Chains A and B, each alone.
Chain A
Amino acid sequence: MTKNLQPIASGLWSDEAQPHLLAGQSTDGRIFFPIPEGDSGKNLEVIKLSRTGTLWSFTRQDFKPKPPYDGPEEFSPFLLGYVELPGEIIVESYIIGTTLEELKIGMALEFVITPFDEKRSTYAFRPEQTL
């Protein structure tokens, strides 16, 4: 579904079948996401973040944001939140495949790439799919 879409930014996640968000790690172990641009991003080791985590907090964007928001012309509310990647970092992300009512702090989520508009893809987390 997202194969023909262009990532919203390069270097945000790894290009592989099971992609990971990419972060920078300093020699003292601190993790930075996204990898900072410019001088502050130098000397950081690029690492892959965990594909699974737990919901730290959430909300729903109910109105169309002003620019620089660049989403589809026809706006529909979207869920977003912070996802704690255990032992790593807490990242802000779209939340998909669920509803506001179903969201609970602490629930298990997994990483996924999702369409942003007709041409671009972005990253999200969704409830862990039971195999």
Chain B
Amino acid sequence: MSKVYIIGAGIHPFGRTEERSGRDQGVFAVREALNDANLEWDDIQFASGGSIAAGNADVMINDLGLTSLPFINVFNGCATGGSALSTTQNAIASGQCDIAMAVGFDKHPRGAFNANPKAFGLPDWYGQTGMMLTTQFFALKLQRYMQLHGISRETLGRVAEKSFRNGERANHAWRRTPMDLDTILNSTMINHPLSKFMFCAPAEGGVALVLASEKKVRELGANAVGIASVAIRSRPPGSFEVFAPSMEVEDGGKPTILASKAAFEMAGIGPEDIDVAQLQDTESGAEIMHMAENGFCEDGDQEQWLAEGRTEINGALPINTDGGCIACGEPIGASGLRQVYENVTQLRGRGEARQVRGKVKTAYSHVYGAPGLSGVAILEV
């Protein structure tokens, strides 16, 4: 497969934009990405995108232009953006086209997501009894992890503290006011050990990326970031996943571990080579657990890593430099692409107040969601 590059990145600020539909936020992001790449919509030969709660992506052509391009809608849970990225990458790598657009957007109502059991192949009683909540899953996975690997609640608080601190420095973030550790630890309990300010909230936003072939990059003289690998993996048997009335006794692995290994293998590098990482932080414990699942540290090391500030913007491995989901909120269809947008920003040295010091050569992003699905993308310059 030939190498594919990102030559344009656009974002609609995350949070709440009452006057704009989710799809319009996607259109806004597409225009930003086109501006960034110095291109017109007419130049785009292929597009792929989606949302979970804000409608079909291909309807955007009404606003962007009826150019007859192939536009593939994706509806792939939290990996919607990752799947759009993978689809566009493949379209270019296979030689089908030279220039393509990946887009993700969403707009969710306030409060925790409410899921329909039938859509996940589960019986009604599971939803009726109140056991089908994503917040519970993260608390249950984390409670056990903390006991087995000696992670304190204070460390959970430190993650959120960092998220709000980084969010203050990111124009596209939603929560941009720093919060002290005590306020985070003492906020309303949601599902023990997780309190309110450790969670991300459903939100709105849109992200678009322009991808191009090597030939096109040369032709345009574009400011390009290379895609070293994209890997998406669904769950293996015996993994503990969201919306699981039961699981096998024997631990069989995790989709994140599989996606991470595959992405590193394809890229031909390892976790020690990564300069900046965006990891799924649905809540602060998820960032902790995903640090180990993605191979950046051993289980339990996070306690020391956070105490020493190793994941701060100026630390050894900066994680969630724009404040992640905790500061940006989680519009599901856009969230995975926001991570890639942030990595493109860091690799181009455009992070301003949140720019990681020194030359950023490699960047890693990881998205995770229901019903047990992970997507990893590694970028390089």
**8 Å CB contact of B123 from A34, A57, A80:** A34
1/0 contact string of B220-244 vs chain A (CB within 8 Å): 0000000000000000000000001
Query: Is B130 in the interface zone, CB < 8 Å from A?
Result: yes
Chain A contacts of B129 at CB under 8 A? Answer: 8, 69-71, 94, 116, 122
Query: Is A14 in the interface zone, CB < 8 Å from B?
Result: no
1/0 contact string of A99-118 vs chain B (CB within 8 Å): 01000010000000000100
A12 touches B125 (CB 8 A): yes
Chain A contacts of B43 at CB under 8 A? Answer: none
A62 touches B191 (CB 8 A): yes
Q: Can you spell out 10 A-B residue pairs with CB atoms less than 8 angstroms apart?
A: A8-B128, A61-B130, A66-B112, A82-B247, A89-B249, A90-B247, A90-B248, A90-B249, A94-B129, A116-B129
Given contacts A34-B123, A69-B130, A70-B128, A90 and B114 within 8 Å (CB-CB): no
CA distance in complex: A89, B248 (Å):
5
Query: Which residues of A are interface residues toward B (Cβ below 8 A)?
Result: 8-9, 12, 23, 30-34, 36-37, 56-63, 65-71, 78, 80-82, 84-92, 94, 100, 105, 116, 122
How big is chain B's contact interface, by range? 35 or more
B191 touches A59 (CB 8 A): yes
Query: Is B21 in the interface zone, CB < 8 Å from A?
Result: no
B128 touches A69 (CB 8 A): yes
CA distance in complex: A81, B144 (Å):
10
A9 touches B139 (CB 8 A): no
**8 Å CB contact of A88 from B147, B192, B249:** B249
Chain A contacts of B144 at CB under 8 A? Answer: 56-57, 105
Query: Is B45 in the interface zone, CB < 8 Å from A?
Result: no
**8 Å CB contact of B247 from A12, A65, A78, A89:** A89
A59 touches B140 (CB 8 A): yes
Chain B contacts of A34 at CB under 8 A? Answer: 123, 126, 245-246
A67 touches B114 (CB 8 A): yes
Q: Tell me how far the C-beta of B179 lies from the nearest C-beta in chain A, rounded to whole angstroms.
A: 20
